Amino acid sequence: MSKKVNEIGITVKKDEDFSEWFTQLMKKAELADVRYNLKGFPVYMPWAVRSIRKITRMWEEELEARGHEPLLMPLLIPESNFHKEADHVEGFTPEVFWVTHGGDKEFEERLALRPTSETALYDMYGKWIQTYRDLPFKRYQSVSVFRHETKMTRPFMRTREIHWTESHNVFATEEEAYKDAVENLEITEKLLYGKLAIPHIFFKRPQWDKFPGAINTFAADVLLDSGKVLQLPSSHMISQAFSKAFDVTYKDADEQEKLAWITCYGPAHSRNYGALITFHGDDKGLVLPWDVAPEHIVIVPLIFKGKEDVVLEKATEIKKQLVDAGYTVRLDDRDNFSPGYKFNEWEMKGMPIRIVVGPKDIENNQVELFRRDLGTKEFVPLSDLQKTVDSIRDSFTDNLRDKADKIIADKTVDGKTEREIIAALDSGKMIRTCFCSTDLDGEACATKVEKELGGEVRGEKFNTKEELFCDCPICGKKANHVVYIAKSH
């Protein structure tokens, strides 16, 4: 990608033309290139990949701290595996990419590029798990999954290749499995909100919108500036039909063979990144939480004729000091770009801290420091530099989270009628309303919401009983649940 794309900043405002803002951000911050000649498969660029890898490591480390062990399953899954569980095959077959040939030879059985790994893993779990002593059995893998997405694709947010971590855990009892499904939500809260500073709501999905083959699905939704929600990590209580189909059983202490209980959890890191850059980004480009930023500090030396050596020497000295203190630091000493160009480029890329060093700064034993979270500049004595950087590090993500909480505070409104729901959807809000049923009996009303009102029933708040305040605005019947409606990506 040509560096010329960075010569000007983003030319539209995020809150006025979100789609164009996002397109320009992808290009000018050099995050993704959509010119690969296969629809729905963008090329992710180094600056984005480095952040996605950091996010992936966060989840891997958290899972391993909670007793999960890593493995890697084959990419290809025999079609016969899918047909062992009826709901799963019905739910995923329309999205599957099929491999039918090896060279010129046609296979006797089609092979799926994994859309998710239940039918691969559980086939092996049935072989590995024998007795209650093998439980709990907790495994995860960080891989790509492939889904033939038919809606409009967008880098990071809706693509045909998803980069994620998936955990699949096996337990002796339903109670243990449910506890694990809830623990997955705790992981999401700790990392998605704590580290990525993304406010979200946990929903229990309606029965018509649960994961194919699950008893219940719990998911985190975030409302973006586009006025649409994006589903982030989801946690599932898997039906024992899977355990039966794949013989995931164990002998209990009484020598009785019993069906195991399974959970799965799927944080999609490429999608988490899409939510991250969309939620925190502004009209000047990226704003990245501290632990996600590829690098922390850029030093820009101001080079004047006759002062080149002294400025570069001081800039190099400052870099070493900060690197020794544990920071990732880039010295931008390119001589073919102006300081103003560099300032704009690193602001576009969301570099948390920019330090400027010039001859006058050296004379005054100071540097100019710009912080991306607050958009402020200050002169910092060299003697206080590390202490100042430490303070920014400790408060940077907290500042983003506080700002995010304020942004999201007025994004949810109550709606008692179809007209109120439509008006709120058109203004980019999420609507809280009452609904007749979240079981399959309510699917007809949910279909009307999608087809005629332009939104989706996201579900009811997980583990929260909210007071009813109206009848179902779709069918007029007595409501039994408080649900949330929004447009979705």
pTM of the model: 0.94
| Same domain, yes or no: 220 and 174 | yes
- Count of residues making up the chain: 489
For residues 48-60, one letter each, b for 16 or more C-beta atoms within 10 angstroms of the residue's C-beta and e for the rest, the string is bbebbebbbebbb
CA 172 vs. chain centroid, Å, equals 31
| Same domain, yes or no: 424 and 387 | no
Residue 40 lies in a domain: no
Residue 33 lies in a domain: no
| Same domain, yes or no: 93 and 162 | yes
Q: Where are the alpha helices (DSSP H) in 325-442?
A: 339-348, 359-363, 385-408, 418-426
Residue 263 lies in a domain: yes
pLDDT at position 8, please? Answer: 66
- Tokens (6 digits) for 288: 């990245």
pLDDT (mean) for 447-472 = 96
| Same domain, yes or no: 63 and 121 | yes
CA neighbor of 187 nearest in space, from 116, 261, 267, 263: 267
For residue 47, how many other CB atoms are within 10 A of its CB?
A: 18
Distance CA 417, CA 333 (A): 60
pLDDT at position 340, please? Answer: 93
Domain that holds residue 324: 297-396
**309-353 tens-digit pLDDT:** 899 999 999 999 999 999 999 999 998 899 999 999 999 999 999
Tokens 């991250």 belong to 276
Residue 4 lies in a domain: no
Given strand 329-331, what is the order of strands in its sheet?
329-331, 297-301, 353-357, 366-371, 376-381
For the domain that residue 237 is a member of, what is the CATH number?
3.30.930.10
Distance CA 44, CA 269 (A): 13
Residue 9 phi/psi, 5-degree rounding, is -80, -170
Q: What is the CA angle 397-398-402, rounded to 5?
A: 120
Tell me the torsion sign for CA atoms 173, 174, 176, 180. positive
> Domain tally for the chain?
3
pLDDT at position 152, please? Answer: 82
| Same domain, yes or no: 388 and 444 | no
Tell me the Cα Rg of the chain.
25
For the domain that residue 430 is a member of, what is the CATH number?
3.30.110.30
More confident residue, 212 or 293: 293
pLDDT (mean) for 196-201 = 96
Residue 85 lies in a domain: yes
| Same domain, yes or no: 239 and 128 | yes
pLDDT at position 197, please? Answer: 97
Helix or strand run (H / E) with residue 119: helix 118-128
- Whether a cis peptide bond, with omega within 30° of 0, leads into 136 is yes
pLDDT band at 7 (very low <50, low <70, confident <90, very high): low
Residue 360 lies in a domain: yes
| Same domain, yes or no: 387 and 459 | no
> In terms of C-beta density within 10 A (0-12 exposed, 13-18 middle, 19 or more buried), how is residue 220 classed?
buried
Last residue of a domain, one of 396, 420, 452: 396
pLDDT (mean) for 284-308 = 92
Residue 47 lies in a domain: no
| Same domain, yes or no: 191 and 82 | yes
**225-243 tens-digit pLDDT:** 888 999 999 999 999 999 9
Q: In this structure, are strands 353-357 and 297-301 parallel, antiparallel, or unpaired?
A: parallel
In sequence order, what are the residues at sequence separation of 6 or more whose Cβ sits closer than 8 angstroms to the Cβ of residue 193?
199, 200, 401
Residue 264 lies in a domain: yes
Q: At what angle do helices 308-324 and 385-408 cross, to 10 degrees?
A: 70
- Which of 53-57, 89-93, 444-448 is least confident? 89-93
Distance CA 483, CA 475 (A): 15
For the domain that residue 355 is a member of, what is the CATH number?
3.40.50.800
Distance CA 20, CA 10 (A): 9
